A and B are shown apart, each in its own frame.
Chain A
Amino acid sequence: MILRTELRRSAAPVIGVGVLLFTVGMLYGMSGPWWKGTAPWHEQWTGLAQWVRYLGVFLWPLLLGAGAWHGLRDRRAGVRELLSSTPRSAWRRVLPTAGALAIGLAGAFVVVLVVGGVQVALTASYFHVKWVPVAAVGLLAYLGAVLLGAGLGRLVPSLLTPPVLAVGGVAVQISLIQSGWPEWLTPTIEAPEITVFTTVSVPVTLVQALWFAAIAATGFGLLAANQARLRLAALLPVVLGLAITVPVLSQQDSHVADRDAVAMVCDEQDGRVCVTRAHEAELARFAGPAREALALLAKLPDAPTSVEELADERPRDGVVAVSLFGDGVRGSEALDDPADIRLSVLAGAGTPLCVDGSEETYRWAVTTRMAMARTVAAAWFTGELAPLPYYREMPTTEGAAVQRVWRTFRALPETAQRARVAELRDAALDCDPAVDLLDILVAP
């Protein structure tokens, strides 16, 4: 009964609708990274759970402020003294309020997950439940933020508390990003970490759940406490949580490989073509062009015999590993056109882009030379120079340079061409950043 009243009269409906509108509005309103990459929010369960949390980066500070607004309610209505004189214990009075806030937030979360989940269920070939705890931790974190805000609002009943808390939340979020403290103290997940091949590790999810539950407990305690001693006791969960969380989280890798997602699903008829289990639905589209490219690669001495989607490891012998969603440096859209798939397999004579994550590999000059070498190597198989997928918008100066390289390379005798492409393939597979692939092709 009280719960029903609280559901209508507290900040719960506004907070719930706000979170829902913000999240769905963001997801549909702009073409952010959640539509691209290997785990789009509407195609993969992993992506659905993690992109929703990604969007919380500046939302939870706002929830902190909204909670504080709620915590000011008794003071606003001028009933603090009245309520403190009632025999009903404070925590029993606060419980329905906290319940209403939880229901409001959970409702918003469930609607978002259903909107995404229906679309995912229609397209995803890879079903799993590992995403559920990841999403649940996000919900728990939002609830923790609202309750902590409410508790602090009651502790410092000033009109300034809500906006100042919201600002403080943003400051905390950004200092965590900058200071190297475990970013996992906040619910957000960074964009580059969201791939379908990885999953948030179980220990991290557990510790996060503990931490956000501790925050929620402190918030609840502060909301219910009416003596200084109890307020002090209410801080205990957060202090304990911090003492456990920080040392544990600093030693944990947040994302670990999802073995089920990267398992290969293969089409074995003449020339083996495989994609990861997560992208099983792409196999039919991918197999034909990949096989054509594999036939062209037979010009090589010691030619590869199968094509696999590149997941998280370097390729094995005799296997061409191809990334279907961007090449690791540029692009994150899925390869659609058969010609693009062919070119991606042939790029660099059937080698993936060598990215070691260092600054060096992302330098414009380095990536450009690498892209030129990979383009010319692919052109040697097809017979005509064509820009690789994701490199169509190269400036014309680079276009002219690659034409020059292509002409120089074509002027070489046929056997030398073959030897140099083979050498390029070996070097690219070794992935030694000191070796310049373009020199291998055209150096005298």
Chain B
Amino acid sequence: MRWLTLYVRSRQVPGTVAAALTCVVALGLLATGSGSMMMRHQLVLFAVATVAAVAATGLAGADPALDRTAAVCWPIRRTVHVATIGVLAIGALVAFQWVDQPLVATELLIRNGIGLTGVAALGATLLGGGLAWCLPMAWTTVAMTTALAAPEPGAALLTWPVQPPGTAAATVAAAVLGVSGTAVYAMFGPSLNRTAD
């Protein structure tokens, strides 16, 4: 328990979760007030990316190199951390939709939650905790711009975050990214670039 408390504090989890949830509520309220179906969709899906991106800042501590020297089993802890972010991303939006009104199929939230969390973990592995947000955010930006330009965007493997439910390629892409992102992060841990402080 003591370890967990210290870990949570060292990764600035309370602040991160508060920021993520604030973003979710803001985007969710914006979606509720929107007249356009497409905008609602995009906003809710963007909110999932937001949670993953914001929470990913905690995937690295102040000194990743020092962390690695600790005599603890990192892969399990890293996996649990990433999985928690995924659960938070999905859970926050499911909860918002349950309290407010359903805007997007839960299936989509789960798919995007898993996929984008994996992408965020990949970001932490490649770029470090401070820049991990770039990857899920940039990916979602590309997908959202595509969806804005074409009602039925092609290249489902790339634009999976905005594909309709039941698109096999999108589900596969999200699952592969989710699993591989988590696995890569669990194995290698955050980048040794000191992007966090």
Contacts and interface: CB of A to CB of B under 8 A. Distances in A.
B28 to A, nearest CB: 11
Given A30-B154, A76-B130, A170 B197 contact: no
Contacts of B57: 159-160, 163
Contacts of A76: 130, 194-195, 197
Interface stretch (B30-38, B88-96, B107-115, B167-175): B30-38
A281 to B, nearest CB: 26
Contact of B27 (A33, A65, A171): A171
Contacts of A18: 138
B138 to A, nearest CB: 6
Interface string A50-61: 000001011101
A55 B146 CA distance: 9
B50 to A, nearest CB: 5
A75 B197 contact: yes
Interface string B140-158: 0110111011100111000
B144 A58 contact: yes
Contacts of B23: 164, 167
A30 B155 contact: yes
Interface stretch (B11-19, B67-75, B77-85, B183-191): B11-19
Given A30-B154, A57-B148, A178 B137 contact: no
A33 B147 CA distance: 12
B133 interface: yes
Contacts of B138: 18, 22, 62
A166 B197 contact: no
A171 B26 CA distance: 8
Q: Which of B30, B36, B154, B196 has the most CB of A within 10 A?
A: B30
Interface of B: 12, 15-16, 19, 23, 26-27, 30, 33-36, 39, 42-43, 46, 50, 53-54, 57, 129-131, 133-134, 137-138, 141-142, 144-146, 148-150, 153-155, 194-197
Q: Which 4 A-B pairs have the closest CB atoms?
A: A32-B149, A163-B133, A159-B57, A163-B53
Given A62-B141, A76-B194, 19 more contacts: A18-B138, A26-B149, A30-B146, A30-B149, A32-B149, A55-B145, A58-B144, A61-B141, A65-B133, A76-B130, A76-B195, A159-B57, A160-B57, A162-B130, A162-B133, A163-B53, A167-B50, A171-B26, A171-B27
